[in-house]
Structure 1
């Protein structure tokens, strides 16, 4: 068995495994931006394959998509053109040529009207210092009154629930004539406050299995609210749905909910100082 991230290394396989034919994630983010009157400049952090960044671009926004994966960025530029794509670490980024970007380059020459961070990308900030770095970078990168729009797993869902934990789940798909099977297991590391994931990929082309290990920070709603407030953000929405990955999923015209109990968490916050 080898180790690696088969999906990050093969963005087309990622889109096959996690299709979004109705572009719900990008449409939901655009709905949030419109509802609170965000200006046109948007930074999509953790942009992945660029689907959501490209949708925001087509909606008339000036978009920079940022990710750590060179493969994802190359794919995004080819398959989802329109935004400008750059490599950046969401734990420490800043606009301008002199920005401290962990040696991966600045995200752009100007401040933004909104930062968008979807599909639990924010939860790759595993420590409090990581979260402080992310939010401090957002604050430096946003114009006065700028928005932060994020969507992620909800740490509160796992309080007393284990239906998603410790039991392998299988998924199969065929890509480029090869049949793939993934077996995914989630477990909680309570000491580190992380949801850890092990995913093993096998294929019928004779290649060795690939094991991927990753983790997300488990943030509780009020904990997230505290971090945002401490960094000068006013929370406008904090709820478990509807959203692009909630059940049932968000539809055009849906209004934000008020509960924060289900397995997804959605936040919109405005920089106030």
Structure 2
């Protein structure tokens, strides 16, 4: 899910290309989320905020849950309804969503979608919307980049990273540079896409908020959430990745951050 002010994105505006670039045949992210929900006794009704192509929402639906997937990209939602049926898919902006009378036992927010809230006001608005959408005792499960990882570490910054994959016979190549905007507390990404079919290069820019573990705890507490888990792994994007039977870690130092919080009262 991207806010409406974010410019077009080659991958998220082309869902089939997105799934080709980020294959997840084993539904690792969905399985991890279901494990969190199961371990903490979440009820059956789940809202997947920033559901994208719907793969994780459909996995949770297949696990027996009643799932609503929400995203701001109509292209993603159309793809999800066709290719990953089962959940209800609705258009919503994570900066402020109101699903009416719908009430959920858990909100799931994966793959750094929460970090498209760039300002404190946007973060407060997102968490406030989650609070209103949840039943008392409901869970918030999130997975994202870890701002603390970039304290003193520069190996991922300011150096072009080139990746390529082939889709429908065309080689797609991305050259990505990450930089830290310390004033805005953002991890900015510049990416140039090229292909071997003669198409002109496509440049796009995006950013994630760099959230630190203790900062996140304070934001959640202000909205009436109790943190149950906050750690750097194992998770669906860690190395090695999470698998069934692994319990959450105790540190928050690596490049991914995993959160489970329970709504305990009103802010």
- State the TM-score, normalizing by the size of structure 1: 0.94
Partner of 2:212: 220
- Partner residue of 1:136 out of 125, 128, 134: 128
Deviation of 1:4 (Å): 3.5
Deviation of 1:95 (Å): 2.4
Q: Does 1:174 align with 2:166?
A: yes
Partner of 2:142: 150
- Partner residue of 1:60 out of 61, 64, 80: 64
User: Any runs of at least 4 consecutive aligned residues in structure 1 with deviations exceeding 2 A, and if so which?
Assistant: none
Partner of 1:101: none
Deviation of 1:28 (Å): 0.2
What secondary structure is seen at the aligned counterpart in 2 of 1:208? coil
The 2-side partners of 1:86 and 1:45 are apart by 10
Partner of 2:177: 185
The 1-side partners of 2:198 and 2:69 are apart by 36
| Alignment size in residue pairs | 259
Q: Contact between 1:4 and 1:210, CA under 8 Å: does it hold in 2?
A: no
The 1-side partners of 2:186 and 2:166 are apart by 31
The 1-side partners of 2:171 and 2:239 are apart by 28
The 2-side partners of 1:203 and 1:268 are apart by 40
What secondary structure is seen at the aligned counterpart in 2 of 1:8? coil
Deviation of 1:206 (Å): 1.5
The 2-side partners of 1:87 and 1:110 are apart by 14
Deviations 1:93-143 (A, max 9, x none): 1221xxxxxxxxxxxx42100000000000000000000000000000000
Mapping of residues 237-256 of structure 1, within 5 Å: 237-256=229-248
Deviation of 1:35 (Å): 0.4
Mapping of residues 1-273 of structure 1, within 5 Å: 4-96=8-100, 109-273=101-265
